[in-house]
Amino acid sequence: MKTEHVDIAIIGGGPAGLAAAIEAKRQGVEKVCIIERDTDLGGILQQCIHDGFGLKRFGKQMSGGQYAEAFIEELAHTDVDVRLKTMVTKITEDRRIFAVNEREGMICLNCGAIILAMGCRERSRNQIQMPGARPSGVMTAGAVQRYINMEGYLPGKKAVILGSGDIGLIMARRMTLEGIAVEGVYEVMSGPGGLTRNIVQCLGEFDIPLHLSTTVTRVFGKERITGVEVSAVDADRRPIAGTERRIDCDLLVLAVGLIPENELSKGAGVELDARTNGPVVDQDFMTSAPGIFAAGNVVAVFDLVDYVSDTGEMAARGAAAYLRRADSAEIADARGGDEASIIRTIAGTDINFIVPQKLNAGKRESDINLFLRVKKTGENQKIRMVCKGASVSECREAFVAPPEMLVAKLAGSADLDDDLRLNLEANQ
Amino acid sequence: MSEREIVCTVCPRSCRVKAKETGGAYVFEGYSCKRGLGHAQSEVENPMRMLTSAVPIARATVRMLPVISEATIPKAKLHDCLEALYKVRVDSPVAAGQVIVKDICGTGVDVIAARSMKRK
């Protein structure tokens, strides 16, 4: 088996991995390698042909491909080693990567640091326990997106969409423009899962109805799907008898949520957060395994790619600093601090989760962005950060809602000697 | 007099802006900022959209090339532009930014390749 040493290996060539690789080179890291299983870089951006990417980072409306291209172009001016069509099969706690491709066969990379950038997966039919037959024509919104935008197939003529996640909304518009009749979007929750602008731009503009508190309770058809049964649900999301309605369709599109992809992370013994489904990370986006970092949707599902790129850069800076510490041997433990000097960020009142979950105690060199989601909708709110009962920092927000990720700035000067609790409060 | 509601998409706050029309002039209510007012105005006067689609490409690693308009086009012309794009076929290689359709449907806006594609 071919064995090689690399300073930083990045698993995944999507937006997180691309930003991480470029930043690692900026930081002066010598041997940087991206391992990507697809034939091209860019990850899921390559099937996102719609616009709305890059507003924060580039200040303009770009499509997914254009956003990816900006990074791929920059990467081409570096000596980052890109291994395409290469599948990582295993990573170990001592930072070895086992991968396979058709040119080299099985390879082993001994890494100074690893950045996990595998992205996320869509929740599938098996994960939402949908009763009924198993005909063809039931697929995730991402699969429909790939078929239409990259492979050039129309996967049906009349579609029902279950779930109001953003990809489902985007695909409602895209299918309509491609001539597929979209009967409606059905959402089991009492509020939409996707961003309001997508509800307006993708459903409202095309008169596609959104049915809240309604779900698919049966799938009809043997070989190919012929229809679905939808039912209203009660406050506990149980179908209400007598509300069933049959809809004929030849395509059921599932847009029922995304889960960080962490099969490889688990193999390396990385601690996962039950709320984000991603690794617990510190302010450098290092996981519980020393020298193994994580970036982008592996950590938590972000709604803007701009944030994904930001975390890629943060992880690369962290990994570069980790390598410098490991080199200098000044600190025997390259973690850069002992466990006692680490504090946790705690999701308090009406906060769903916070990334990063761990911070260095004391003061920090610079301000830190905390990524979080709230549990309820509200206007004129603030995120208050509390340490030992005292308020250390606060961020005002004109509007908050669960589908919109917030970024709260923690002042570097805030001196933390205990866990940091974040609460959502009315701004008075 | 007529009235319509525009849900603002400028920021997540999603203000519901009412546009009241009397004799061709609009009065707006319910917006919270200047950008929101501007958005509502353009939505009633001359709504503009980016055009994004994909066109078949020969001899590339995938079968479709994503394309995008270089600027926004009038929403009313979106359908015609898509119809025009359905007829387009391209061959690899293509460079990102390369013009695929010049001045699409007389809008004065070019449709360009959103990514590069090498020959397979």
* Model confidence pLDDT, tens digit, residues A154-209: 999 999 999 998 999 999 999 999 999 999 999 999 988 888 889 999 999 999 99
Residue B44 burial (C-beta neighbours within 10 Å; 0-12, 13-18, 19+): middle
Q: What's the pLDDT at A61?
A: 83
Task: Let me know how long chain B is.
Answer: 120
What the block records as the tokens of A396 is 């005002």
Answer yes or no: do B9 and A197 touch at CB < 8 A. Answer: yes
Q: Which of B9, B30, B7, B4 is nearest to B19 (CA)?
A: B4
Residues 6+ positions from B6 with CB-CB distance below 8 Å: B16, B17, B19, B39, B40, B43, B44
Distance from CA of B2 to the nearest CA of A (A): 19
* Residue range B16-44: mean pLDDT, rounded: 91
* Model confidence pLDDT, tens digit, residues A349-393: 999 999 999 998 888 888 899 999 999 999 899 999 999 999 998
* Model confidence pLDDT, tens digit, residues B66-79: 999 999 999 999 99
Q: Pairing mode, if any, of strands A406-410 and A368-374?
A: antiparallel
Any alpha helices (H) in A287-340, and if so which ranges?
A: 305-328
The neighbour count for residue B106, using CB atoms within 10 Å, is 9
Answer yes or no: do B7 and A196 touch at CB < 8 A. Answer: yes
Residue B93 and residue B116: Cα distance in Å, rounded? Answer: 8
Which runs of E-coded beta strand occur in A261-413? 292-294, 342-347, 351-355, 358-360, 368-374, 378-387, 390-400, 406-410
CA distances from A72 to A65, A78, A132, A354 (A): 10, 10, 44, 30
Distance from CA of A108 to the nearest CA of B (A): 28
> If you search the block for the tokens 């909304």, which residue do you land on?
A169
Answer yes or no: do A177 and B82 touch at CB < 8 A. Answer: yes
CA distances from A372 to A190, A197, A404, A424 (A): 22, 20, 9, 11
Q: What is the mean pLDDT of chain A?
A: 93
HEC string of B20-60 equals: EEECCEEEEECCCCHHHHHHHHHHHHCCEECCEEEEEEECC
Answer yes or no: do A150 and B96 touch at CB < 8 A. Answer: no
Q: What's the pLDDT at B9?
A: 86
Instruction: Categorize the per-residue pLDDT at B11 as very low, low, confident or very high, splitting at 50, 70 and 90.
Output: confident
Residues of A in Cβ contact (< 8 Å) with B116: 69, 72
CA distances from A169 to A85, A204, A229, A256, A260 (A): 31, 10, 20, 11, 20
Report CA dihedral (A21, A23, A28, A34) to the nearest 10 degrees: 0
Q: Flag whether residue A69 sits within 8 Å of chain B, measured between CB atoms.
A: yes
Answer yes or no: do A201 and B14 touch at CB < 8 A. Answer: no
Q: Flag whether residue B16 sits within 8 Å of chain A, measured between CB atoms.
A: no
pLDDT over 90 percentage in chain B: 79
pLDDT over 90 percentage in chain A: 82
The neighbour count for residue B108, using CB atoms within 10 Å, is 11
HEC string of A254-269 equals: ECCCEEECCHHHHHCC
Q: Pairing mode, if any, of strands B64-69 and B52-58?
A: antiparallel
pTM of the model as a whole: 0.93
Q: Which residues pair with B5 in a beta bridge?
A: B18
Higher pLDDT, A105 or A327: A105
Specify the 3-state DSSP secondary structure of A315.
helix
Q: Quick check: A85 pLDDT over 60? A: yes
Q: Quick check: A426 pLDDT over 70? A: yes
Residues 6+ positions from B59 with CB-CB distance below 8 Å: B91, B92, B119, B120
ipTM (interface predicted TM):
0.91
Residues 6+ positions from B23 with CB-CB distance below 8 Å: none
Answer yes or no: do B64 and A149 touch at CB < 8 A. Answer: yes
Residue A289 and residue A297: Cα distance in Å, rounded? Answer: 18
Q: Which of B12, B53, B114 sits opposite A196 (nearest CB)?
A: B12
Q: Which of A66, A201, A401 sits opposite B114 (nearest CB)?
A: A66
Instruction: Categorize the per-residue pLDDT at A333 as very low, low, confident or very high, splitting at 50, 70 and 90.
Output: low
Residues 6+ positions from A339 with CB-CB distance below 8 Å: none
Task: Residue window 191-220, chain A: list those with CB within 8 Å of chain B.
Answer: 195-197, 199-201, 204
Residue A137 and residue A221: Cα distance in Å, rounded? Answer: 10
Instruction: Categorize the per-residue pLDDT at A412 as very low, low, confident or very high, splitting at 50, 70 and 90.
Output: confident
Element counts in chain A: helices (H) and strands (E): 8, 27
